[in-house]
Amino acid sequence: MEHVNDLQEGISTERAFEADPIPSLSETITLRSLVVSLILSAALSAVAMKISLNSGFLPPLTIPAGLIGFYLSRALIRLLDYFEVEHLPFTRQENTVIQTCVAACSAITFSGGFGTYILAMGKEAAGGDIRDGKNIVEPSIARLITFLFLVSFSGMFILMPFRKVMIIRHRLTYPSGMATAQLINSFHTPQGANNARQQVHMLFRSLGGTIFWNAFQWFFTATKGCGFRAFPVFGLEAYKRGFYFDFCMTNVAIGMLCPYIITVSLFIGSVISWGIVSPYIAAKEGIWYTTDLSTATLSNVKGYKVFIGVSMILADGLFNFLSIMFCTLCAMYKRRRPPMPGQDGGDDDSDMQLPFHSLNAAEQQKTMQSFDDRRRAQVFVRDHIPNWVSILCYILLSALSTVAIPYLYPQIRPHHVALIYLAAPVFAFCDAYGFGVTDMNLSSTYGKLAMLAVGSVVGCNNGGVIAGLVSCGIVMATMSNSNNLMQELKTGYLTLTSPRAVFISQAIGTGLGCVINPVMFWAFYKAQDGDTNLFDAPYARVYRGIAMLSAGQNGLPLHSLWLCKLFFVLALALSVLRDVASRKQWRMAPYMPSTICVSIAFVVPARMPIDMFVGSLAMCLWRHTDSSKARAFSAAVASGLICGDGLGNLLSSMIALTPATAPICIKFVSSSENVKLDAFLATLTRA
């Protein structure tokens, strides 16, 4: 009967691994995995540091870490076989541990703020003005390593008590984690599993096609603004407002993996944000805000949208967080209360629908758990870390940071640090919820809000610029690491890797990152002091400007607080209505937009929801034409797209470090501009 259900649900991954025993902790975290992790962590961190210092943005490296880790481990195994050295078999669990460790190490490049808030503290970002000594702190390698150790590990414990809720009960997608797991499972599928081999074949076909497409696009990007990255699919007028298709295969694949309501909600949010709110606020230029502001500050249209989006995210996230707490307390009360005569006091609360529902909860309730779900849940729950241990560790690390960080940066006070750690669990839960749905990490957005809050309280005369930047670093490191751990736990869940092994490998990678990344940054920073210009770090000046804004008297744009209150109430009403509709099973419930997805569209470019919408449209057409193949191979195809795009971006980033330039430039212009361009080129030809 189980096999019949599996055939109805699609191809079972865990059937192919059913005969393989689950390796123990010592067989998962081996000396071989640690050696490979160390080598790969140093290599990818060097590339990530260069990218971050030049652009301030770091593409996700989880998929390249899993891919390169597999082949590097295979090479090491062949070397051991050549010298006839006995070794344990290389399992997908060990592959997951390597990927987790490497990804955790390289992620410190972003959360550590080497291209953002760390450089923003120095005199270079301040324009060389060193008169205000309280608001200038030059980077120091000892201070950097100490600060990273203080703020990075607390994020690992902050969401551990909610891991079962997010991954098993509500099955948040975590698209990059799912794609990484799909890749690792495909590498380790036993021979003879024909269906699994077909999935691997489809995965590598989409992976290779995506890499080829990225390489093909490079030839048409001679200068800035060239290429297919800005394809005006809705016309040039919509393109000016940010509505265009940029052929980002990662976002397209995420749209294939996510339920339709997510992509539709994001698209609705982008229309409201970029099509209604942005033009309205832009019309207030010169009235609500001055016209001479830089586009990087938060006192113009961008600032209004950031505050509106964050207020909506907080409304939905806080509603879900309080709902979980309330439902948990009710369940605990029912378990402690003795059953009434004639009642079964066993499992009445097990079927209770939590107010915190996943976005496709209605669909999940209609289907029974598959063999894969049951097996994965069994492993995930069996080897766990007690909640009291996570809570105690977070409290101890928070107390240590509250005492130590003011010694590193005297501009920030202990009670500021304590308040940040006190509020961090709520905000981290909101951020992880959105990250699990859309794969969008908004930790930097929350960091900017902390920067504004603390900087405005401390004031410029007391070092409010540095205090704001330090608070931003605490929030970014804490939330980013908590997001990354939830994503790695999702990968471990899908590869039958022990949560304890994932946690330990995450801790090892974080420890390596707290040492490797500052050393590499210090090498780049010292070389920058010479005649060679190695990096530009544009985001450091952006963060410096925001910190200076927060430390001034006018910390918020005019009328932004009123708009935040309005959209907070609207978002809260939509969240409540959506939950009530789901509980009452109204017909409109499956079609109600997701509040958090609408809010995220306020802080991301409009092209990202468009890419995801294209992916959902392609998935809808595929299911309509061939539903069986779409159900069986859609995850593999989407995983290949994400893997190929990640490798393609890594290749493009490496090419960008060389003097090579693309030979052709393609741009889209209107017909009237094209006539003028042809006339101008004709004059050059005659000359």
Measured distance CA(497)–CA(384) in Å, rounded: 11
Worst-scoring range by mean pLDDT, 190-199, 254-263, 429-438?
190-199
Worst-scoring range by mean pLDDT, 1-5, 134-138, 276-280?
1-5
Write down the H helix ranges in 30-130. 31-55, 62-82, 92-111, 117-120
Residue 44 clears pLDDT 90, i.e. is over it? no
Residue 322 clears pLDDT 80, i.e. is over it? no
Secondary structure element (H or E) that encloses residue 291, with its range: none
Residue 267 lies in a domain: yes
Other C-beta atoms within 10 Å of 5: how many?
A: 14
Measured distance CA(67)–CA(78) in Å, rounded: 17
Mean pLDDT of all residues belonging to the chain: 80
Q: Residue 245 has what DSSP assignment?
A: B
Structural tokens at position 549: 């804004």
Q: Please state the rounded mean pLDDT for residues 225-235.
A: 81
pLDDT of residue 621: 93
How far CA 668 is from CA of 216, 236, 274, 664, in Å, comes to 18, 8, 21, 14
| Distant-in-sequence, close-in-space partners of 683: CB < 8 Å, separation ≥ 6 | none
Higher pLDDT, 322 or 588: 588
Residue 330 clears pLDDT 60, i.e. is over it? yes
pTM: 0.71
Contact 544, 125 (CB under 8 A): yes
pLDDT of residue 503: 94
Residue 349 clears pLDDT 50, i.e. is over it? no
Higher pLDDT, 128 or 224: 224
* Residue 378 pLDDT grade (very low, low, confident, very high; cuts 50, 70, 90): confident
Contact 542, 119 (CB under 8 A): no
User: Of 56-65, 519-528, 542-551, where does the model show the most confidence?
Assistant: 519-528
* Structural domain count of the chain: 1
- Report angle CA 260, 265, 266 to the nearest 5 degrees: 105
Residue 5 clears pLDDT 90, i.e. is over it? no
pLDDT of residue 653: 66
* Residue 331 pLDDT grade (very low, low, confident, very high; cuts 50, 70, 90): low
Residue 355 clears pLDDT 70, i.e. is over it? no
| Distant-in-sequence, close-in-space partners of 140: CB < 8 Å, separation ≥ 6 | none
Residue 631 lies in a domain: yes
Residue 431 lies in a domain: no
Contact 584, 355 (CB under 8 A): no
Higher pLDDT, 39 or 310: 39
| Distant-in-sequence, close-in-space partners of 457: CB < 8 Å, separation ≥ 6 | 416, 464
Other C-beta atoms within 10 Å of 533: how many?
A: 8
Residue 357 lies in a domain: no
Residue 347 lies in a domain: no
Worst-scoring range by mean pLDDT, 10-14, 175-179, 672-676?
10-14
User: Residue written as tokens 């891991």?
Assistant: 163
Measured distance CA(574)–CA(591) in Å, rounded: 12
Q: Please state the rounded mean pLDDT for residues 485-493.
A: 92
Worst-scoring range by mean pLDDT, 46-60, 367-381, 413-427?
46-60
Measured distance CA(681)–CA(686) in Å, rounded: 9
Phi, psi (degrees; rounded to nearest 5) at 385: -110, 125
Residue 353 clears pLDDT 70, i.e. is over it? no
Contact 532, 182 (CB under 8 A): no
Residue 376 lies in a domain: yes
Determine the structural domain holding residue 312 and report its residue range: 2-246+259-288+301-335+371-423+439-671
Q: Please state the rounded mean pLDDT for residues 572-588.
A: 86
Structural tokens at position 235: 């016309």
Q: Please state the rounded mean pLDDT for residues 400-418.
A: 94
Residue 562 clears pLDDT 80, i.e. is over it? yes
Q: Please state the rounded mean pLDDT for residues 239-256.
A: 83
Higher pLDDT, 161 or 553: 161
- pLDDT over 90 for what percent of the chain? 19
Worst-scoring range by mean pLDDT, 60-74, 259-273, 342-356, 379-393?
342-356
* Residue 57 pLDDT grade (very low, low, confident, very high; cuts 50, 70, 90): low
Structural tokens at position 155: 């994020």
**The dihedral sign for the CA sequence 27, 32, 35, 41:** negative
Residue 616 lies in a domain: yes
Measured distance CA(115)–CA(111) in Å, rounded: 10
Structural tokens at position 398: 């928070």
DSSP-derived 3-state class of residue 667: coil
Residue 618 lies in a domain: yes
pLDDT of residue 396: 95
Q: How far apart are the first and last CA of the chain?
A: 81
Residue 528 clears pLDDT 80, i.e. is over it? no
Measured distance CA(528)–CA(282) in Å, rounded: 39
Residue 532 clears pLDDT 50, i.e. is over it? no
| Distant-in-sequence, close-in-space partners of 41: CB < 8 Å, separation ≥ 6 | 101, 102, 105, 106, 509, 512, 513, 516
Task: Tell me how many helices (H) and strands (E) the chain has.
Answer: 30, 0
Measured distance CA(104)–CA(670) in Å, rounded: 46
